[in-house]
Amino acid sequence: MSPLLQPPRFWYRPAGWQARLLAPVAEVYGRRVVARMRQPGQRAAVPVVCIGNFTLGGAGKTPLALAVADLLAEAGYKPAFLTRGYGGSETGPLRVMPGAVAAEVGDEALLLARKAPTIVSVDRPAGAALAVSDGATIIVMDDGFQNPSLEKDCSIIAVDGETGIGNGMTFPAGPLRAPLHDQMPFVSAVVVIGPGDAGGRVLDFARGSGLAALQARIVLDPSAPVLRGKRVLAFAGIGRPEKFFKTLADMGAIIAATQVFPDHHPFTENDAMAIASRAQSGRLIPVTTTKDMVRLTGGPARTGLASITRSVPVRLVFEEENSMREFLHRHFRIRK
């Protein structure tokens, strides 16, 4: 999903006239994606775990990648993350070093690099080679499920429990990157994140297809700030900002104002000044996501806003962590 766009609402309603009108274009688009997925890729010197999704837009891939990396590290692997650096100017391959900024490597790369060595590379085989040369014994690739350039040992698909696969149609008629039945042969496991009937239907479909099907949820990190009873200005430039706002409400925060930006939005000095001014005039505490927080760099107004803004760190937990361990054990013979 382009950082300049938000998904249209009709994607998440039963297919209506808009979806039907776009169906011929969607059929052509889907065929092209599937044909590309079937192309052979290069083999890395170590196993590759791909964390992807069926749809455009956010579904929780990065929290899932972090959680999988934790289990692999616990089992004795030395994981490295591989990402294309969406939203950044660098094409790589390069290591994400201390001092890197989101404008160069993308916000997700900065979050991943807090956990394990992270490589940004549009050329995924080249990025994998760099990770191996740095000592990685397994690669966790954030996104790239539909990209065939690097051969995958397993692909774990993140699905949002509330939205699932939307209206079940392919872009631009719906959110799918290709028809679901054409993507399924490339899938090793499906992880539905959060509650919801739409995600439950995908979970049932995955189980019926003989795939590992697991559930997970996003929880507050213990380091999250205490916001109960605090009046806040909540701002976010993520795929589904309403989920962040619900998290704040569940924390007991009083959401006095909100401001929504496109996914991966590169905050400008004017943006920062406007948010800070709005918070100051309303005597509100600016609050944002950790993903947005890493983009508040590069100028005095952004740095000033970051200094008064509280971020809300979250993490992914599996409903049955041993089931994920068992899945990884089957694929990589790791300790259960």
* Within-domain flag for 224: no
* Average pLDDT of the residues in 298-317: 94
Contact by Cβ (8 Å): 148, 32: no
Residue 32 has pLDDT above 50, yes or no: yes
Q: Are residues 80 and 184 in the same domain?
A: yes
| Three-state secondary-structure class, residue 234 | strand
Confidence band (pLDDT; 50, 70, 90) for 335?
Answer: very low
Residue 297 pLDDT greater than 80, yes or no: yes
Element (H, E) at 223: none
Mean pLDDT for the stretch of residues 187-210: 94
Q: Provide mean pLDDT across the span 25-43.
A: 96
Q: Which residues pair with 231 in a beta bridge?
A: 254
Residue 31 is assigned to a structural domain of this protein: no
Instruction: Tell me whether residue 235 is in a domain.
Output: yes
> Residue 333 has what pLDDT?
66
Q: Is 162 in the same domain as 211?
A: yes
Backbone φ, ψ for residue 271 (5° rounding): -55, -50
Q: What sign for the dihedral angle of Cα 267, 270, 272, 275?
A: negative
Report the predicted TM-score, pTM, of the whole model to 2 decimal places.
0.91
Q: What is the mean pLDDT of residues 27-49?
A: 96
- Apex 195 CA angle, 190 and 196, nearest 5: 90
> Are 268 and 236 a contacting pair, CB within 8 Å?
no
Q: Are residues 86 and 198 in the same domain?
A: yes
**Distance in angstroms (rounded) separating the CA atoms of residues 334 and 26:** 41
The confidence score (pLDDT) of residue 263 equals 87
> Which of residues 62 and 239 earns the better pLDDT score?
62
- What is the domain-level CATH number for residue 299? 3.40.50
Are 83 and 118 in contact by the 8 Å Cβ rule? The answer is yes
CA 200 vs CA 39, 43, 204, 303, 320: distances in Å: 31, 34, 6, 42, 16
Select from 236, 174, 171, 183 the least CA-distant residue to 209. Answer: 183
Phi, psi dihedrals of residue 185, rounded to the nearest 5°: -60, -20
My answer on whether 187 and 296 are in the same domain is: no
Per-residue model confidence (pLDDT) at position 5: 56
Token pair 């760190």 in the structure block, residue:
313
15 falls within a domain: no
Residues annotated as binding site for ATP?
55-62
Structural domain containing residue 245: 231-312
Q: What is the pLDDT of residue 48?
A: 96
Are 160 and 269 members of one domain?
Answer: no
- Per-residue pLDDT, averaged over 298-309, amounts to 94
pLDDT over 90 at 114, yes or no:
yes
Tell me the binding residues.
Answer: 55-62
Q: Closest Cα partner for 314 from 254, 226, 263, 244?
A: 244
Largest alpha-carbon pair distance within the chain?
57
* Residue 78 counted as domain residue: yes
Both 194 and 241 in a single domain? no
Q: Are residues 82 and 214 both part of a single domain?
A: yes
Q: For residue 127, is it within any domain? A: yes
Tokens 């616990």 sit at which residue? 74
Per residue in 217-230, pLDDT tens?
A: 999 998 899 999 99
Count: domains in the chain: 2
Query: Residue 23 domain-assigned?
Result: no
Residues 275, 152 share a domain: no
- Check residue 336 and give its pLDDT: 46
**One domain for residues 133 and 196:** yes
Q: What CATH number is attached to the domain comprising 144?
A: 3.40.50.300
Residues 308, 324, single domain; the answer is no
**Cα gap 183→139, rounded to integer Å:** 22
Arithmetic mean of pLDDT, 238-266: 92
- Please state the φ and ψ torsions of residue 61, each to the nearest 5 degrees: -60, -45
What's the rounded Cα separation, in Å, for the pair 246 and 56? 22
Q: Is the dihedral of CA 228, 230, 231, 235 positive or negative?
A: negative
The 8-class DSSP code of residue 224 comes to: P
pLDDT(3) > 50: no
Residue 3 lies in a domain: no
Say if residue 171 is in the same domain as residue 260. no
The 10s digit of each residue's pLDDT in 48-100 is 999 999 999 778 899 999 999 999 999 999 999 999 988 889 997 999 998 89
Report whether pLDDT(110) > 80.
yes
The pLDDT of residue 334 is above 80:
no
Same domain, 285 and 196: no
